[in-house]
Amino acid sequence: MTEVFEGTFTQQEPIPEAAIEAAVAQMRTGRLHRYNLVGDEVGEVSLLEEEFGAYTGARYCLAVASGGYALATALRAVGVTPGDRVLTNAFTLAPVPGAIASLGAVPVFIGVTEGLVIDLEDLAAKADQADVLMLSHMRGHIADMDALMTLCNARGITVIEDCAHTMGARWNGVLSGRHGTIGCYSTQTYKHMNSGEGGLIVTDDEDVAARCVMLSGSYMLYGKHRAAPGPEVFERVKYVTPNISGRMDNLRAAILRPQLRDLARQCERWNERYRTVEAGLEDAPGLTLIPRPEKEDYVMSSFQFLLLDWAGDRITEVVRRCAARGVELKWFGAAEPVGFTSRYDSWRYVASEPMPASDRVLRGILDLRLPLTFSLEDCALIARIIRAEVSAVYQEAG
């Protein structure tokens, strides 16, 4: 009997009851705007900022409208201006180069290793081209952050971390988002907390924090924030920082606060699913698993493997056969971007040099989501299907 998987790769869990109740209660007040407060009331957004700041250990935290908005705001807050070059990953998703381009700045792509992290040799080689690195921890794979920060500090490069896929993950005990000057997170539906859309910014730098608050559109109401610097810091920036509205609202914050309380447990559940798929694919012929460094405490809500140096038509055949059995694989090597699988040469608004070593890796990357609606049995079944179809195509190819 041929097993078929019947789950949906884009189906997240429902919003927890406590979050639904908090959202309904907030709606009953009618006060959804973060600064629409009564007397000395502390709004949901300010509380979320305080709690996420405490969770990350950051001095300052700002909640915003999306992860992409967080990235663009971080770039502005560290002083990137039109025409500036910004280093970033060749292997990431479209909002990352998009945030850079939204300022009129120019992405300079750094290669990807077989471990699916930024290539530190390539970073060193291009370090003199820019003062800022927007580092994407793409698909939850974390580079050697000790080596990366040593390199960037030595070269005077400010690091902004894109933690859209690493909320809750650590390198060498330090949370992702806490190595660089700024950490940016997304709370969009497919990330580790779900408010539909949303973003969070953390930093220890008071001027950066105050600029982010002004940029997000605080209408001089920054005094209402709980995780922001004091008024003396705002005096330095408030007349010279434009308002580029992108605030979070109380409704989304109400949905997120109960999820933050569950985050650690949810991260464990993702990792159980990841490890089940990983175990099921171990030693599969023709298939390369991504080794995970000992210093990395990952949180994997998706799974990647490589079909390294396979012909394109053979990979397409694997994708087709798995799809026929209900397993949706996304291939980053396809000629045209499909859904989210774009790569550096898909972003044609940026001039990029060919990167043969990275192209070889990108051509081999297969990607699947592991939503928490999948049971561990589902994950074992998914692995059996992938293993069987990869093996079949691999043997046919000889």
Ligand X SMILES: *Cc1c(COP(=O)(O)O)cnc(C)c1O
Which value, in Å, is the radius of gyration of the alpha carbons in the chain?
A: 22
Contacts with 114 (C-beta within 8 Å, 6 or more apart), sequence order: 288, 290, 306, 308, 361
Nearer to ligand X, 95 or 258 (CB): 95
Beta strands in the chain, from DSSP E residues, in sequence order: 60-64, 85-89, 106-110, 132-136, 158-162, 170-171, 174-175, 182-186, 199-203, 288-289, 296-297, 302-306, 330-331, 365-369
Count the Cβ atoms, other than its own, within 10 Å of residue 247. 19
d(CA 142, CA 116): 8
In contact, 179 and 153? CB cutoff 8 Å: no
- CB of residue 187 to ligand X, shortest distance in Å: 7
Taking the least distance from each CB to ligand X, the nearer of 187 and 271 is: 187
Angular region, 173: left φ>0, alpha ψ -120 to 50, beta rest: left
Give the shortest CB-165-to-ligand X separation in angstroms.
Answer: 6
DSSP state of 228: S
> Toward ligand X, which CB reaches closer, 86 or 96?
96
Residue (93 or 382) nearer to ligand X, CB: 93
| Shortest separation between residue 167's beta carbon and ligand X, angstroms | 11
Q: Which is nearer to ligand X, 100 or 175 (CB)?
A: 100
Map tokens 């967080």 to a residue.
70
> DSSP strand E in 296-337: where?
296-297, 302-306, 330-331
- Determine the residue with CB nearest ligand X: 67
Nearer to ligand X, 218 or 341 (CB): 341
Distance of alpha carbon 329 from alpha carbon 393, whole angstroms: 15
**CB of residue 180 vs ligand X: minimum separation in angstroms?**
15
DSSP 108-168: EEE-B-TTSSB-HHHHHHHGGG-SEEEEE-GGG----HHHHHHHHHHTT-EEEEE-TTTTT
Q: Shortest Cβ distance from residue 136 to ligand X (Å)? A: 5
- Our CB check for ligand X shows the closer of 113 and 276 to be 113
Smallest distance from ligand X to CB 188, Å:
4
Residue 163 Cβ vs ligand X, minimum distance, rounded to whole Å: 8
Cite the beta strand spans of 26-84 per DSSP E: 60-64
Residue ranges in contact with ligand X by CB under 6 A:
66-68, 92-93, 95-96, 136, 138, 162, 164-165, 186, 188, 199
Closest CB 139 distance from ligand X, rounded Å: 8
Looking at the Cβ atoms of 168 and 229, the one nearer to ligand X is: 168
Residue 2, classified by CB atoms within 10 Å of its CB into exposed (0-12), middle (13-18) or buried (19+), is exposed
Residues 6+ apart with CB under 8 A from 206: 59, 60, 229, 233
Nearer to ligand X, 63 or 96 (CB): 96
Minimum distance between the CB of residue 89 and ligand X, rounded to whole angstroms? 9
